[in-house]
């Protein structure tokens, strides 16, 4: 019953999207970026994971950011950011539904308080797709457009 309700909601609100990047997220203010992938897709809904990671890295490098392709093992300095691609998807009646999210975060310590701060991102929900490979690449493109021309 829960899966059916979720599927109905996604059909009614399918392909809803939002985006926004903080205006100070520019290459001069960023020492290093790591791209992290969170794969919550099942039953073959997302199969181009490594392509999405490379595509995101390449696009950010073309915009002038210093992208580290090493495995993330902790923040190196104050202006070290992570761009996370989060995919949650599963099949219902043979088609995929779920969500795509890209988020920019960094850890910041102030007065002995450590927090994770988001500088923006983009995301969408989807339903009724065979797989979401092209949709994820489309969300990366939307994210890069926001990075080029932030709204807030």
pLDDT digits (tens, 9 = 90+) for 109-137: 778 888 888 889 999 999 999 999 999 99
Which DSSP category does 149 fall into?
Answer: S
CATH number reported for the structural domain that contains residue 6 in this entry: 3.40.50
pLDDT digits (tens, 9 = 90+) for 6-30: 444 444 444 444 457 888 889 999 9
Beta bridge partners of 37: 85
Lowest mean pLDDT among 31-45, 111-125, 131-145: 111-125
Beta strands 32-41; 80-92: pairing state: parallel
* 141 and 37 Cβ atoms separated by less than 8 Å: no
| pLDDT at position 19 | 57
Q: In this structure, is the dihedral angle defined by the CA atoms of residues 135, 139, 140 and 145, taken in order, positive or negative? A: positive
The pTM of this model reads: 0.83
Count of domains for the chain? 1
Which structural domain range is residue 111 located in?
2-148
Q: Which two tokens stand for residue 126?
A: 């989807």
């Amino acid at each position: 019953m829960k899966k059916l309700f979720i599927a109905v909601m996604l059909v009614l609100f399918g392909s809803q999207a939002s985006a926004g990047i903080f205006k100070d997220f520019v290459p001069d203010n960023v020492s290093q970026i790591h791209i992290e992938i969170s794969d919550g897709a099942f039953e073959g809904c997302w199969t181009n994971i490594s392509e999405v990671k490379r595509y995101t890295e390449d696009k950010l490098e073309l915009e002038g950011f210093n992208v580290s392709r090493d495995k993330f093992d902790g923040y190196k300095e104050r202006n070290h950011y992570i761009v996370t691609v989060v995919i949650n998807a599963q099949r219902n009646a043979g088609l995929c539904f779920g969500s795509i999210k890209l988020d920019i975060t960094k850890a910041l310590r102030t007065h002995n308080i450590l927090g994770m701060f988001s500088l923006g991102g983009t995301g969408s929900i989807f339903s009724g797709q065979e797989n979401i490979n092209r949709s994820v690449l489309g969300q990366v493109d939307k994210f890069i457009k926001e990075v080029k021309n932030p709204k807030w």
